[in-house]
Amino acid sequence: MSQMSPLVEYLLAVRRPGGGALCRMGIAQWQAVFPAGAVGVWDVYPEEGTYANITYWFGVSGITPPNVFDVNIYNFGVETSGGLYSDLVIGPQGNSGFAVRTQSNPVRQIIRNISGLNQYDESIEYFLIIDTEADYKTVMGLIDEWNVSAGQRQLQEETNELLRQLVAKA
């Protein structure tokens, strides 16, 4: 992973009102050899005893050859990505974005070796570990707040100021 996003750094720094981290970082690595034509299907759940994980970076080792694995990823029952492992996700640049999985809604991955040879897959993901549903709701609220642009905030402040002026004149 080349660099952690400012949003992820912020979420890792947030503390609960009584103390303790709101979430923590997790890392998972997996390695598999797929025979020619083989299909692997995984339902990926959060760790035992936790409520949710939010993947924020996924990458495939440079050892994995490009264009031999056809991959489909389903999140909350909807296909969120699909296609060939290619140079876009292989190597240190990886793929950034958020994928949420909970105990009741795992992420499903389907990987097919479309080549005529046995192929090696080595992947890694970085994710946030969230212990409780309440913490999950707080994290999702913080993500929503983060996504409000500075321009929107400024417009909201200006609108509030105009409303204060109108109320003061009335």
> Whole-model pTM above 0.85?
no
Strands 119-130 and 52-60: antiparallel
Q: Domains in the chain, ordered, with CATH?
A: 6-169 (2.60.120.1540)
User: For 21-51, how does the pLDDT look when each residue is reduced to its tens digit (9 = 90+)?
Assistant: 999 999 999 899 999 999 999 999 999 999 9
Residue 159, pLDDT above cutoff 60: yes
Q: Of the candidates 68, 115, 60, which has an alpha carbon nearest to the alpha carbon of residue 93?
A: 60
Structure tokens at 145: 């707040």
